[in-house]
């Protein structure tokens, strides 16, 4: 038999829930039960992956301390993770004993919260412990309280051993009627893997950035009749070219965000704009894709981008100043 203890308090000295858990754990060890205790405050960056630790447990204890209102954020976050990422088939066979101590008010409401949540998850809630503790020392020295704690641990052991059957609860019926989720059918292995990804902040941030980039890409395609960003840039430079008599220059732009350089080959009355490469250029410019968009929208100029450090330039600086003359971008209203 294996029992997991999930402690949702802050781990402060004098927390009565810690004393209760130590007494219950001692009883389980005497009964040759394997016990794993997980402090949620130590696993706060990995809480979404913790439901998988219940898969080999026969019973669990959900323990917390009401310090001002409710069972605390760590415990609620863990219950959320059980709902979204937990293996409901495994949870259905797990007995849960709630332990809620209070140094203020609300221990019974806290215990009811845990029992109701476990009901909604489809598990098997057992009778638990709740108490208001004003003086921790007096509480720990009271032998009658110790007997109650040990009796609760023994009852959990008996419920698991005898596979005690609980009567139906209305929470399950309500869940089936109004709380049905549209969900993708995943194997337990896929669910566990998904929960690990969800707890990886760096991975999730990367996914959000990728989604944002794809959204912007498709938004651009819709706004410009399916043209790519590169094709839009080429068209914009060609449409806004102002011919200069007896002037020719080759500009090469290295744009972060585009795979290939953009080449502007201005010769008298025509400009050839394309993405590719050129053996020799008169001016080499380096800038971000977002800054190039601002220039094409008329929100900035090449000269100002260079002076502010947003664009790095090598080559003939007289030809750099000509960029704002041969390309006239105006802000669209």
Q: Where are the domains of the chain?
A: 2-180, 229-326
Cβ atoms < 10 Å from Cβ of 163: 10
pLDDT of amino acid 257: 81
For residue 56, the 8-state DSSP code is T
Taken in order 192, 198, 203, 208, the sign of the CA dihedral is positive
Q: What is the mean pLDDT of residues 148-176?
A: 83
Per-chain mean pLDDT for the chain: 86
Q: Is 42 exposed, middle or buried (0-12, 13-18, 19+ CB in 10 A)?
A: exposed
pLDDT of amino acid 232: 86
Confidence of residue 97 (pLDDT cuts 50, 70, 90): very high
For residue 257, the 8-state DSSP code is T
CATH topology of domain 229-326: Nonspecific Lipid-transfer Protein; Chain A (3.30.1050)
pTM of the complete model: 0.55
Question: How far is residue 105's CA from residue 102's CA, in Å, rounded to a whole number?
Answer: 6
Residues 201-233 have pLDDT tens digits of: 666 677 777 777 666 655 655 454 556 788 888
Question: How far is residue 265's CA from residue 278's CA, in Å, rounded to a whole number?
Answer: 10
Q: What is the separation, in whole angstroms, between the first and last Cα of the chain? A: 71
pLDDT of amino acid 218: 57
Residues 115-132 have pLDDT tens digits of: 999 988 989 999 999 999
Q: What is the mean pLDDT of residues 52-80?
A: 93
Which residues, including other chains, have CB under 8 Å from residue 229's CB and lie 6 or more apart? 217, 220, 258, 289
Question: How far is residue 98's CA from residue 112's CA, in Å, rounded to a whole number?
Answer: 9
Could you tell me if 8 and 47 are in contact, meaning their C-beta atoms sit under 8 angstroms apart?
Answer: no
User: How many CA atoms are closer than 13 Å to the CA of 192, on its beta-carbon side?
Assistant: 8
Domain at 2-180, CATH homologous superfamily: Flavodoxin domain (3.40.50.360)
For residue 122, the 8-state DSSP code is T
């Amino acid at each position: 038999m294996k029992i997991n203890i999930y402690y949702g308090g802050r781990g402060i000295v004098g927390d009565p829930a810690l004393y209760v858990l130590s007494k219950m754990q001692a009883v389980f060890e005497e009964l040759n039960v394997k016990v794993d205790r997980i402090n949620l405050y130590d696993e706060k960056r990995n809480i979404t992956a913790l439901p998988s630790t219940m898969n080999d447990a026969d019973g669990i204890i959900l323990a917390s301390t009401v310090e001002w209102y409710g069972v605390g954020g760590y415990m609620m976050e863990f219950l959320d993770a059980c709902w979204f990422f937990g293996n409901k088939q495994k949870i259905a066979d797990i007995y849960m004993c709630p332990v809620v101590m209070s140094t203020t008010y609300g221990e019974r409401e806290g215990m009811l919260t845990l029992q109701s949540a476990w009901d909604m998850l489809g598990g098997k809630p057992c009778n638990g412990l709740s108490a208001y503790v004003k003086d921790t020392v007096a509480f720990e020295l009271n032998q009658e309280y110790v007997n109650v704690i040990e009796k609760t641990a023994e009852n959990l052991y008996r419920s698991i051993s005898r596979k005690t059957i609980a009567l139906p609860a209305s929470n399950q019926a309500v869940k089936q009627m109004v709380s049905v989720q549209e969900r993708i059918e995943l194997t337990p292995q896929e669910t566990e893997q998904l929960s690990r990804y969800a707890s990886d902040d760096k991975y999730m941030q990367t996914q959000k950035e990728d989604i944002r980039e794809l959204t912007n890409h498709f938004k651009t395609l819709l706004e410009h009749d399916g043209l790519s960003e590169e094709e839009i840039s080429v068209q914009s430079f060609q449409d806004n070219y102002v011919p200069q008599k007896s002037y020719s220059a080759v500009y090469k732009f290295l744009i972060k965000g585009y795979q290939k350089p953009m080449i502007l080959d201005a010769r008298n009355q025509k400009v050839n704009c394309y993405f590719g490469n050129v053996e020799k250029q008169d001016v080499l410019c380096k800038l971000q894709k977002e800054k190039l968009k601002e220039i094409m929208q008329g929100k900035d100029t090449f000269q100002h981008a260079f002076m502010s450090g947003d664009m790095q330039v090598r080559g003939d600086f007289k030809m750099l100043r000509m960029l704002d003359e041969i390309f006239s971008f105006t802000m669209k209203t």
